[in-house]
């Protein structure tokens, strides 16, 4: 068992993590007693599909895009399903190659998570990290994770996590460490085509990339020589159909794209990385009243009677970082209105030298 954190930034939280096939009732009890968070079983997409365990919702609007799936119990060898022994039995049943969908009861007490194909190179999260660690250890690619909380119920941060590891004789590893390790031996993006692309803001090189873990196409618009140590102006943008194409007033995506291209064109050097996220580029928000409306993706409408708020967006950060690495970027000036640490970029050896704001008409909705 180890503790996994995003990186060593003091504000990061940590998860107890263990290979699923090595789980025991004692390990489950330790997680429940000392971790205190939600104990979850992370499985690959293929395994979940084989066991016919679906996602809890078709449109994921949670802050970090954690892919919660249907909770399960093993039908054989369990009682109520909640005890440490029962949960360990359920986990071992779920990862047993001989298990069939009919061998699982649902809903149950063991929360399942869907790890993205490609692991931390595609999504830099603890779900994917737990599966990657098991696979790298030549074990069944499945992990058990549990968030670590302090005695007072607050989330343990890196300083407390260091003390926790010393107290319980555990080691700490970061998602960034796993990304660095995998980058040395694996690659998940490749160039498909390249051509000149004239725009109102100047002529760019359009480079089209494809990910080996899915059929999504990503585009890099490159101006000038971006290789080397000199910081490069970069915008990483996730596609939003309603905003990017139709200039929806419910988000600032259209403005963010064009202002970013304008800034790059003015400098004569930079990259706009346009990532095609999973999904349609919008989602349908349903209300208890029965009303439904189409919402720009990945930004939500401002809530009624509440200030507009930022939704933390997963940028497919591993894929984006690999593309920027392929372009030989070493240092970036990141175009964003919400400066934050991007673990995947730094794990790929790309330094964020500066956060550069993008002027728009609705800063409350900007990212």
Per DSSP, the three-state class of 226 is coil
The architecture that CATH gives domain 2-183 is: Alpha-Beta Complex (3.90)
Q: What is the pLDDT of residue 314?
A: 37
d(CA 134, CA 111): 18
Residue 343: the pLDDT is 62
Determine the pLDDT at residue 364: 45
Give the C-alpha separation, 206 to 217, whole Å. 12
Tokens of 300: 């939500």
Domain 189-365 CATH class label: alpha beta
Question: How far is residue 286 CA from its own chain's centroid?
Answer: 24
Place of tokens 């400098």: 267
Q: What is the pLDDT of residue 312?
A: 34
pLDDT of res. 264 = 97
Instruction: With a cut of 50, list the residues of the chain below it in pLDDT.
Output: 10, 298-315, 363-365
DSSP state of 329: B
Domain ranges of the chain: 2-183, 189-365
pLDDT value of residue 308? 29
**8 Å CB contact between 170 and 1:** yes
Q: Tell me the two tokens of residue 66.
A: 């954690």
pTM score of the predicted model:
0.66
């Amino acid at each position: 068992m180890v503790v996994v954190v995003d990186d060593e930034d003091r504000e990061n939280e940590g998860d107890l993590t263990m290979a699923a096939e090595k789980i025991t009732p004692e390990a489950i009890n330790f997680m429940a007693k000392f971790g205190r968070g939600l104990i979850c079983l992370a499985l690959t997409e293929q395994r979940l599909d084989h066991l016919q365990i679906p996602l809890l919702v078709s449109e994921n609007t949670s802050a970090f895009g954690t892919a919660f799936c249907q909770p399960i119990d093993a039908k054989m060898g369990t009682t109520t399903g909640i005890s440490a022994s029962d949960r360990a039995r359920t986990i071992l049943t779920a990862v047993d190659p001989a298990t069939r969908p009919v061998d699982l009861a649902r809903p149950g007490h063991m929360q399942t998570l869907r790890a993205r194909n490609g692991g931390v190179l595609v999504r830099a999260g603890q779900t994917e990290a737990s599966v990657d660690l098991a696979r790298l250890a030549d074990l069944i690619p499945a992990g058990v994770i549990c968030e670590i909380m302090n005695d007072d119920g607050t989330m343990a941060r890196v300083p407390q996590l260091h003390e926790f590891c010393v107290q319980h004789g555990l080691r700490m590893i970061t998602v960034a460490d796993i990304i660095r390790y995998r980058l040395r031996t694996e690659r998940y993006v490749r160039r498909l085509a390249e051509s000149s692309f004239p725009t109102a803001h100047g002529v760019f090189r359009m480079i089209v990339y494809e990910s080996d873990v899915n059929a999504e196409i990503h585009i890099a618009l490159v101006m000038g020589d971006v290789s080397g140590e000199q910081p490069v102006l970069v915008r990483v943008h996730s596609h939003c159909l309603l905003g990017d194409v139709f200039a929806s007033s419910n988000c600032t995506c259209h403005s963010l794209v064009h202002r970013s291209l304008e800034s790059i064109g003015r400098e004569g050097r930079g990259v706009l990385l346009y990532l095609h996220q999973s999904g349609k580029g919008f989602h349908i928000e349903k209300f208890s009243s029965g009303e439904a409306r189409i919402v720009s993706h990945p930004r939500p409408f401002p809530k009624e009677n509440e200030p507009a708020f930022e939704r933390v967006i997963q940028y497919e950060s591993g894929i984006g970082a690999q593309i920027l690495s392929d372009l030989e970027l070493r240092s970036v000036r990141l175009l964003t209105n919400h400066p934050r640490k991007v673990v995947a970029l730094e794990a790929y050896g790309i330094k964020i030298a500066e956060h550069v704001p993008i002027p728009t008409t609705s800063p409350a909705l900007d990212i």
